[in-house]
Amino acid sequence: MGEAKVGDEFVTHEFDEAIAVHQVIVDAESTLAKSHPVPAAKRAIETALREDREFLKQLQALGKEKGATGKVEDVAGGLKSLMEQTLESATTEGADSDYYEAHAVLLNLKRKQQDSAGAMRKIASKERDTEARTKATAFERAQKAHSKELATSLADYAVQIAGGQTASAR
């Protein structure tokens, strides 16, 4: 058996990164679903969490076929660190600005996953893997919908904070 092709290594890397980032998302959503001070945002995060737990299982299964385990490399490690830092500040300090930052980082992670899902979909199409393509398409659509809802609730939260109507003051 010969060495793995560069393309195969790249696919494994992409799945490792997607799995690792999605684990960070699920962990962050688990925390924010319990502690986010804005009820509408909390509900959106709870909904996303239910779906993201299932997507994480799917990513792990699809990744396993490609030799991926969710190994945390540079990009995923940096995003994980940033998410953990902002969550720590939010849950320790409890200030709206800290929760706003954690919410914003979560949104960026979800947008990163949209990109990963699109790449997975195109790779699956090229490989004529209809099951993986179907799953990647569903994953991409869900991440896009979650991102839109999180972006809307983040903008609403910004307006509340700017207007002095903080969650802690209500």
pTM of the model: 0.91
Give the number of other Cβ atoms within 10 Å of residue 83's Cβ: 21
- Tell me what pLDDT residue 3 has: 47
**Could you read off the pLDDT of 8-21 as tens digits, one per residue?**
899 999 999 999 99
Mean of pLDDT values over 71-77: 91
Give the number of other Cβ atoms within 10 Å of residue 37's Cβ: 19
**Could you read off the pLDDT of 107-125 as tens digits, one per residue?**
999 999 999 999 999 999 9
| CA-closest candidate to residue 122, choices 110, 106, 139, 109 | 139
Report angle CA 15, 16, 21 to the nearest 5 degrees.
Answer: 95
Mean of pLDDT values over 94-119: 95
In a domain, 170, yes or no: no
* C-alpha span between 154 and 148 (Å, rounded): 10
In a domain, 11, yes or no: yes
Give the number of other Cβ atoms within 10 Å of residue 66's Cβ: 17
> Based on the structure, what is the number of domains in the chain?
1
* C-alpha span between 29 and 50 (Å, rounded): 9
Domain membership of residue 73 as a residue range: 6-165
Residues 136, 117: contact at Cβ < 8 Å? yes
Indicate whether 5 pLDDT > 80: no
Banded pLDDT at 7 (limits 50, 70, 90): confident
In a domain, 131, yes or no: yes
Output the domain CATH number for residue 154: 1.20.1260.10
Q: For the CA atoms of the chain, what is the radius of gyration?
A: 17
- Tell me what pLDDT residue 83 has: 97
- Tell me what pLDDT residue 6 has: 64
Indicate whether 169 pLDDT > 70: no
